Structure 1
């Protein structure tokens, strides 16, 4: 379950470098290279030590009893809305290194098939017996939306931002979750508006930093609503640590998008002065493109 920790929505990428995708017929499940499509996004529901995955059509990833091909062992994986959420929509994540296997309650695994049609791009559940297909049941988990726990303090108005003060740089960071589409306090309230030291914050000091979370390819959906934190100080290292805590992801690089060419560049040294609002992208350090855009790190 570790790879799904704090995950509200994920994309699943297989050994063929394709994503688990809900077909537009709202019944079939396939593989596609377009990971930015809404059809490749699956909402996660937790039930004890298992998960349920819901497509963009509000239908559950289902291990059916229908054979994929007559005479073959693999059975179809579909999208359904069962009258009762039974074991057919339950998947047990089994961690294997940095990948995961998704097992049904009856011991089969979610499998991304390769080869020639009709196997190509199909998705079944099965127990692979041939060595050549052993890796077809492994999936990379890209978290694209996280769950932010609610504070026991409810219905508290957002603290107002105040002008920048040099003294902020020495303060601990204080986190309050905002929605980028609303000025109101919408996602999470910090514990009684306190900093890490436990002392009250002074009227919501600091800046608001909105962020997207990129996958291992450095890709993210700009159409997705940004999450946001309130952050005091201007140290990039502290901001990175705070975002790792909020996102539940280790070893990330905080990047900003260049207004000139649209490329991502890691932030270095310090944040811009004047406590201005920022928009950043949180990228796993293992991202395929991290070395490329690290060459042009931005410092203020």
Structure 2
């Protein structure tokens, strides 16, 4: 929470190394790699008389909101959107949980802000729920401070001095003293906002973590345990890869225990490069064995979801087995 108390504007980077992004339709929230876009920046507001509670406002002046609308039928996650409510209630309030630059953002009802991966339509979406322990790392965000408050306010909105005048209505508060109300979208919109995200991303490097804090690798991370979401974030493991090297006919010698390593990448290309480094072989094809026919099949598309362990067989491109794939 201390990180947000001294921040005026932040970026939130997900486990996929993408940033929480306010879509141009001023409603949807998604993930995007363009760290240079103002749509990836969120203004921090401290909720008056509620220590440890914040609101996040997009470049369009709209608040990050935990809605009750399911992202898909049969899926537990609910949509996270941008809204400009007449009264600021608990749906726009978030409680940061964690240490250092890495935090989870919890709703007032116990759900967590989650960056989804996998296949469309869930890919690059942002929802809120309590994830399964296999997806616990999906609710961890790396907080990058874009603007720092020189004099952090005491129990007041950190951005109200930047925009005036406030609207006459009174936002939700737990004390008789009124808190500043949100401004219309047009008053906060910078001139000539970009309507596309085709420019080459310029990813800002975050500052080094303070002593004793967690600094996971790129593409972090998943929690070692999700029994309790009140504990600090721990360094987590990636996917275990178990592999064998087949002979010219595609067979693996009986009794060959093979090799294994821990893989933190996310794509099939990254896995191929790692296997080439591990084996010293450059002309290999990554294959999996059909559990029914026991035949080898080359992996062509992408890695299985959820960081499940993989058992693969490496086949030389010049082998008889590889020629049977064509």
> When the two structures are superposed, what TM-score results if normalisation uses the length of structure 2?
0.46
Q: 2:122 aligns with which of 119, 123, 128?
A: 119
Counterpart-to-counterpart distance in 1, 2:32 and 2:122: 14
Structure 1 residue corresponding to 2:139, chosen from 134, 137, 140: 137
Q: Extract unaligned runs of 5+ from structure 2.
A: 154-201, 212-326
| Bigger Rg over Cα | 2
- The CA deviation at 1:130 is 4.1
Counterpart contact for 2:90–2:108, Cα < 8 Å: yes
Q: 2-side partners of 1:12 and 1:140: how far apart?
A: 6
Q: Structure 1 residues 59 and 42, CA, compared in 2 at 3 Å: closer, same or farther?
A: same
Which consecutive unaligned segments of at least 5 residues does structure 1 have?
A: 152-214, 221-243, 252-300
Asked whether the equivalents of residues 41 and 55 of structure 1 are also in contact (C-alpha less than 8 Å), the reply is yes
Tell whether 2:63 aligns with 1:60: yes
- Report the equivalent of 2:205: 218
Q: Is the 8 A contact 1:142 1:216 kept in 2?
A: no
What is the aligned partner in structure 1 of residue 111 from structure 2?
A: 108
Alpha-carbon separation, structure 1, partners of 2:131 and 2:108: 16
CA distance in 2, matches of 1:54, 1:150: 17
Structure 1 CA distance for aligned equivalents of residues 94 and 77 of structure 2? 16
Could you say which residue in structure 2 is the equivalent of 1:71? 74
Q: Which structure exhibits the higher relative contact order, with contacts defined as CA atoms closer than 8 Å and separated by 6 or more residues?
A: 2
Q: Following the alignment from structure 2 to structure 1, what is the Cα–Cα distance between the partners of residues 152 and 145?
A: 19
After superposition, what is the alpha-carbon deviation per residue over 1:202-261, rounded to whole angstroms, capped at 9, x for unaligned? xxxxxxxxxxxxx994379xxxxxxxxxxxxxxxxxxxxxxx9xxxx958xxxxxxxxxx
Let me know the Cα RMSD of the aligned residues: 2.5
Deviation at 1:150, TM superposition (A): 8.3
The structure whose residues are more often strand, as a share, is: 1
* Cα deviations by residue, 1:12-34 (Å, 9 ceiling, x for unpaired): 00110000000011000000001
Residue aligning to 1:42: 42
Map 1:247-262; keep pairs closer than 5 Å. Answer: none
Q: From the superposition, tell whether residues 150 and 88 of structure 1 become closer, same or farther in structure 2 (CA, over 3 Å).
A: closer
The correspondence for 1:93, drawn from 92, 96, 111, is: 96
Cα shift at 1:147 = 1.1
Is the Cα contact below 8 Å between 2:36 and 2:204 reproduced in 1?
no
Give the match for residue 86 of structure 2: 83
Kept in 1, the 8 Å contact 2:100–2:210? The answer is no
Runs (4+) of structure 1 exceeding 6 A deviation are: none
Task: Give the equivalent residue in structure 2 for 1:15.
Answer: 15
Contact 2:66 / 2:92 at 8 angstroms: preserved in 1?
yes
Q: Is the 8 A contact 1:36 1:219 kept in 2?
A: no
TM-score, length of structure 1 as denominator length:
0.50
Separation in structure 1 between the aligned mates of residue 43 and residue 100 of structure 2, nearest angstrom: 23
Asked if the contact 2:43/2:58 (under 8 Å) is kept, the reply is yes
Instruction: Give the structure 2 partner of residue 271 of structure 1.
Output: none
Check the 8 A contact 1:77/1:125 in 2, yes or no. Answer: yes
Q: For 1:46 and 1:38, locate their aligned partners in 2 and report how far apart those are by CA, in whole Å.
A: 21
Q: State the secondary structure of the residue aligned to 1:34.
A: coil
Q: 1:150 to 1:93 in 2, by over 3 A?
A: closer
Matched, 1:147 2:149: yes
